[in-house]
Amino acid sequence: MPDATSLTIASRFKGPPDSGNGGYVCGAFAVAAGTELRIRLLAPPPLDTPLALEHTATDDLWRLRHLDQTVASGTPAAPLQLEVPRAPPYVQAVWASQHYVGFREHTFPDCFVCGPHRRRGDGMRIFPGLLDSGMVAAPWIPADDLDGGDGKVAVEFHWAALDCPGYFAAVGDAPRTMLLGEMQAHVDRRVHVGEACMVLGWLIASEGRKYRCGTAIFDEDGELCARALTTWIEVARK
């Protein structure tokens, strides 16, 4: 029999209008499981709804379930090994963010992480813009409400911050509908609230409608603090 507990994604943490931001959901899932996971999203995570978190010892698989549907699955994984580019100067991230394509066209403008309709203290307001290198970068000053209780940002919000920059690295300056399919993140050390951080995203590979991207968080000294490998799936046009 599986062990089970419960996890609820508050509506504040939405990505699309009626489902959770993928990075935040994956982060909350990993924190609740208490282990390093490679997480696959299988269905839109519903909001304000208790989700059963189950672990089956026979196959060492974690599942996040809503009624009879598996919303996400998690496979135990070794700590993520990902080659991360050098952080650009902070001023370049600020300049890139000012030219954020999401200001003129955004699929989900109320997204908790990158939605321009969200105010500081409500959304994370991470607006990744294109650099000359083809990567995307954004400044990020974590608000006090992301505090994990010790002056540092809670782990699940690191996962959230590592989500959307991967999307913008995949689409460049031509936004289109994509959904996060898989994510693995590793937090080396948590950044402080109020710290002038930077988030970076870059495209690793693409095949058909599938895009593999890397993302990273750097602290105010330009030191790497967290990284993630994400897979994005482009939604087929009807």
Considering the chain, what percentage of its residues have pLDDT values greater than 90?
91
- Per-residue pLDDT for 52 more than 80? yes
| Interval 106-137: pLDDT, tens | 999 999 999 999 998 899 999 999 999 999 99
Question: pLDDT at position 1, please?
Answer: 39
Question: pLDDT at position 110, please?
Answer: 97
Question: pLDDT at position 238, please?
Answer: 53
- For the domain made up of 3-76, give the CATH fold: Thiol Ester Dehydrase; Chain A (3.10.129)
CB 228 within 8 A of CB 184: yes
Q: Where in the chain is the domain with CATH 3.10.129.10?
A: 3-76, 90-234
Q: Which two tokens stand for residue 3?
A: 């062990």
**CATH superfamily, region 90-234:** Hotdog Thioesterase (3.10.129.10)
CB 183 within 8 A of CB 22: yes
